[in-house]
Each structure stands twice: as C-alpha cells, then as structure tokens.
Structure 1
C-alpha cells in the first residue's frame, strides 16, 4: 500500500476514500505528518477559540483525527468537556488513547449528527481539499446551542472554489470574523515543499 501523505489526502473524493486513507494513516499520523510537517494549525485554532471567550459548556471537536486540536486546547488551559467527532474510527481510536475526550463519535459531519447541545465547536484541517465543504454548516449549527462559539479552519485553496464566503455570510450567526494563518512551520519545507507554504483562514462566529 502507498504510504499516505498530504497529496493523497487532498485528492480524496468521498467518504469511503476518506475512511480508507485515514485507516492506514492513524498509527503514524502524529509522528509522520504532524511532527514532520510542523503542523501548527491545531494550535492556531485552539488559540483563536479561547481568545474569543467561549461560553461554559461542552465543545465538539469536528474532524478530530488523533486529537491534536484538543491537545492544544488542554495545553492552553481549557479543562471543560470535549467530544471528538470524526469519520474515521481508526483515527478516533488513536485519539481515545490520549485521555482528552468525554466521548468519541464516529459520524459524517455533512449529515444530521447524533449529538447536540454544544457551547463550542472547533475544527482544524477538516474544511480542505477533498474533505468537507460548506454542506457541513447546517448539521453543525443544529448541534450547537444559541450563542455557541465556532472556530473553524478553512484551507485558503478552497475558500473561493467551494464558496465559503457567501455560505458563511448567509448563516444565522453573529460576530463573523476571519484571520489568515500558516498551516505549517519551518520543518515542512524539507518534508513537503509542495505544500509547505499552504495557508488557512480561521473563521470565528457565534450562533445567533
């Protein structure tokens, strides 16, 4: 089997492709990708979420993968309950070994979710090439409480092509803001120069 990498991930075309790729990547993802690429986006999203003073209550980590975003939240002092949601059971199993989460939820974020009542919703690396587009906003808003704080990363390369700007402007939300950040740090230039300079937009808003 070909070793999974970022180019493989960006070329995915559906839920089954996603499940298959991440089933083979779960065990090596943290060391091979996150450390090798100096993956800084989870920490950027965590900082943006906490900077906007989230309300008290449970948080849903969307596309949680191996738990890197919630690891960053914990490192910054967030002690409240967090649930992990991901399409990949194997990635969730890896996240579950870290003792970060209240619950592990295997679900497709583009469909009605089996969970609700969240005061915060965060996501890093899920809204990107070959993964999830604006169709997830409806299910996520349904899972959130009124006033819930969202902090979501969107890969800059799909912002226009998938219509994120117009879709966000049409949502029943307040305080919509965005900030551009680097996805990777300096080590990425040696490991994957094709993607090392990729950028993302961190979008923050509250459900009306």
Structure 2
C-alpha cells in the first residue's frame, strides 16, 4: 500500500509538472505571435517627425519630460521590429544623449554617434539602413557647441592613434570658415554640420528618398548650457 501511494504521488507530480510545462509553453508560444503581430505605427511625415523631435526637446529644456515609450509594454511592442521616426547622426560626446534631450524612448530614434558627427562610410551605411529598410522619414545631423573634435580640427592639433582620423574629416569644413568673423570653433561647428549633410546627400539611396519626399534632412546645433536644439541647416 505504501508503495502504491508513492507511485500515485509520483504520477500526480509528473502530470502536474507536465501540465505546468504545457501551460508555460503555451504562454510562451502565445506571447511570441502577439509580439510579432504588433501593428506597425502610422508613419509620420518628415515634417511631423521633425515637429515631434523639437516638441520633445522643448519639454527637456523646460524640465517637463514625459519619458514616453519607456515602459515594459513598449519593450514588448518593439521586441520583434523597429520603426524609428527619426535618425540622428550626432557626436559621441557624453553630454549629448539624444533620447534624453529629445525626450523620446525605446525604438523612437535610430541613434548614430561618432566624434565630430562625421559621415564616415560606416555611419552613412547605418543611415541608409535606417532610411531605406526601416522607413525613418527624418535625418538630423546634430552638432554641439564647444565640440572637442571640431576644436582639435580648428587648432590643427597633432593627435595620437586614430584620433586624428575624425579631425581630418572635419578640416574641409574648417577651411570654409577660416576667414569668417566670430568664434572660429562655433563657426566650424555650424560649417561641419552643413558639410556632413552635403556628403550624405551624395548617397544614391538617400537621394532617392529625398526626391520621393519620403525623407527630410536637417542640421541641428545643441546648446550645452541650455539644452536647446536649434535648426541650422
């Protein structure tokens, strides 16, 4: 009798365990299709995307952030696919975190950061991916005041290792404004944004998106003191 009880207990535990595995598996299999079936958001026009960015920046400047798209539900929503409404090429400077200064969240911005916000082939390819394959309608090249990379290019410093590569990429912009009155670094920051946009517009893929009206390219300047982003190109 004792052995029979033990056998019944083992069988009951086995069935319960199997049911538990079945339930867990069912839950998992149900959740995956749910995530995959997340509807693609209504795409924004390039102008609407720019307005959304600037409204977020205004909230940041006024210290009234909404912290959108940062919930657990948002993580599930974008787990299987991404549809960023903006692509931003900006400096790698730690003081220019674009999701924060534009008050956006997970999956909103395709963020490409490199010292001096330069359009290297790798950066350009990343942007082409975001625009062509992910459908991002807005591209912003974002420079910032007192940029160290631009300052080094203006001062024509000799730098070690590969640090000199991004300085070399900025020098053509510096040459354009070397005789311009005013602060040479500030002038070069603006000129560099404009120069990198010109380089990006040579991309056949980006040019096609521009001509079709699916893409807008703008240049911005971030003020480290106030947190405000101004459109400069």
TM over 0.5: no
Of Structure 1 and Structure 2, the greater strand share is in 1
- Highest CA radius of gyration, 1 or 2? 2
* Higher normalized contact order (CA 8 Å, seq sep 6+, divided by chain length): 1
